[in-house]
Amino acid sequence: MTIVEIGLPKRLVELTLDGESVRVPEGATILDACTAVGKSIPTLCYGDTLKPANACRVCMVEVEGSRTLVPSCSRKVEPGMVVRTESERTRHSRKLVLELLGSATDLSTTPHVDEWMSACGADPSRFGPDAETKLQPTTVDNPLYVRDYGKCIMCYKCVDACGDQWQNSFAISVAGRGFDARISTEFATPLPESACVYCGNCIEVCPTGALSFKREHDKRQDGTWDESKQSQTTTICTFCGVGCNLTLHVQDNEIVKVTSPHESTVTHGNLCIKGRFGWQHVQNR
């Protein structure tokens, strides 16, 4: 049984969303309001288990009276707010943000980005062949993780998951500044020498595939990763008494990845090294 926290009843706030009147609970974000009425807003740095980082700017919408566009993932609704998600300015911003990202980073493993790009007619190649990029070799310095920072969009989610929002390991941080900003351990020391505890919670929240499990990475490399052939089974981790939910991703009768449901009140999608990686014995036949 899942325990659902109901909380105190909330006052409803009425706002205008693309010309239609919408009522949502007080404290909801514009993104929540859009989701409630079935409007899909692209997001990248938004994480359902994390505080908004406000970094990627793909979810920007127009709010009447605001000089600039506002991030829908973090801006809370206010009574009488007039929001436009498909105005000229909003569409221009979304298109350019996607183009800028696509011109600097490899978005080939970012879910939905192709649909978003074609919906707004984004063409990242128009900045020319000499546009500076973040492309770089993949870092493999341990048996569990692969870090492909050419795909990193600097959403801050891995840093937040590793830091005070979940794991409190603080193994990584944003270093450098501007276009040179990057996710790094201290002095870029290899992960095994850092404070990393291999919980994998950074990979869980990575929206682009810049961080991946070694197993998944290897299978993708040799062309054997096939999500259509994978089943997902949620069970309970047997290592300790906490009772974390594990979702086993199984392909060809073999565990290929372990995640945890974000809505689980025990884990909120987070696991430790044992739950995340301690499954090899299952496959000793």
Partner 1 sequence: MDLKLLDVEPTEAERVVVDLFTGMGRDQLLPALHAVNDRVGWISQGALNHICRVLHIPPAEAYGVASFYSLFSLTERPAKVVHVCVDLACQVNGAKALCDRLTDELGPAGAKSGWLRSPCLGVCEKAPAALAFEAGEVAKEQLLAPTHAGEVIAVAAAGSSRSDDGRAEMPQAGSPGLRLLKRVGVVDPESLDDYRATGGYTALRTALLLGPSGVIREVTDAKLMGRGGAAFPTGRKWDATARQPVRPHYLVCNADESEPGTFKDRLLMEGDPFAVIESMTIAGFAAGCSKGYLYLRGEYPRALHLLRNAIAKARERNFLGENIMGHEGFSFDIEIRRGAGAYICGEETAIFNSIEGFRGEPRSKPPFPVEQGLFGKPTVVNNVETLVNVPVILTEGCEAYTRIGTSGSTGPKLFCLSGNVSRPGVYEVPFGTTLGALLELAGGVPPGRELRAVLLGGAAGGFVRPDELDLPLTLEDARAAGTTLGSGVVLVLDDTADLGSFLVRIAAFFRDESCGQCVPCRIGTVRQEEAMHRLVGKRPLSTSAQDLQLLREVGQVMRDSSICGLGQTAWNAIESALDRLGYAEEATS
Instruction: Name the residues that contact partner 1, by CB under 8 A.
Output: 52, 54-58, 60, 68-69, 71, 74, 89, 92-93, 96-97, 100-101, 103-104, 126-128, 130-132, 153-154, 163, 168, 170-181, 184-187, 189, 193-195
Which strand (E) or helix (H) includes residue 147? strand 145-147
269 touches 261 (CB < 8 A): yes
Q: Are strands 82-84 and 173-175 parallel, antiparallel or unpaired?
A: unpaired
* Tokens read off for 147: 């870090």
Q: Measured from the CB atom, is 173 or 251 closer to partner 1?
A: 173
Shortest spacing between CB 249 and partner 1, in angstroms: 30
Shortest spacing between CB 253 and partner 1, in angstroms: 38
Q: Measured from the CB atom, is 178 or 223 closer to partner 1?
A: 178
Dihedral over alpha carbons 98, 99, 102, 105 (to 10 degrees): -90
Shortest spacing between CB 257 and partner 1, in angstroms: 26
Determine the Cα–Cα distance for residues 199 and 187; give it in Å rounded to an integer. Answer: 22
Shortest spacing between CB 24 and partner 1, in angstroms: 18
User: How far is the first Cα of the chain from the last one, in angstroms, to the nearest whole number?
Assistant: 33
Among residues 178, 168, 167, 199, the alpha carbon closest in space to that of 274 is found at: 199
Which strand (E) or helix (H) includes residue 83? strand 82-84
Shortest spacing between CB 225 and partner 1, in angstroms: 28
Q: Measured from the CB atom, is 172 or 244 closer to partner 1?
A: 172
Q: Measured from the CB atom, is 104 or 117 closer to partner 1?
A: 104
Q: Taking the CA of residue 129 as centre, how many other CA atoms within 13 Å lie in the half-sphere pointing to its CB?
A: 0
Q: Which residue, chain included where needed, has tokens 């595939």?
A: 209
Shortest spacing between CB 245 and partner 1, in angstroms: 26
Q: Measured from the CB atom, is 207 or 249 closer to partner 1?
A: 207
154 touches 174 (CB < 8 A): yes
Shortest spacing between CB 205 and partner 1, in angstroms: 17
154 touches 134 (CB < 8 A): no
Q: Measured from the CB atom, is 153 or 237 closer to partner 1?
A: 153
Helices and strands, counts by H and E, the chain: 7, 12
Determine the Cα–Cα distance for residues 228 and 231; give it in Å rounded to an integer. Answer: 8
Shortest spacing between CB 11 and partner 1, in angstroms: 19
Q: Measured from the CB atom, is 78 or 263 closer to partner 1?
A: 78
Q: Measured from the CB atom, is 36 or 195 closer to partner 1?
A: 195
Helix locations, the chain, DSSP H: 30-36, 88-104, 113-120, 157-162, 201-205, 214-221, 273-277
Amino acid (1-letter code) at residue 224: T
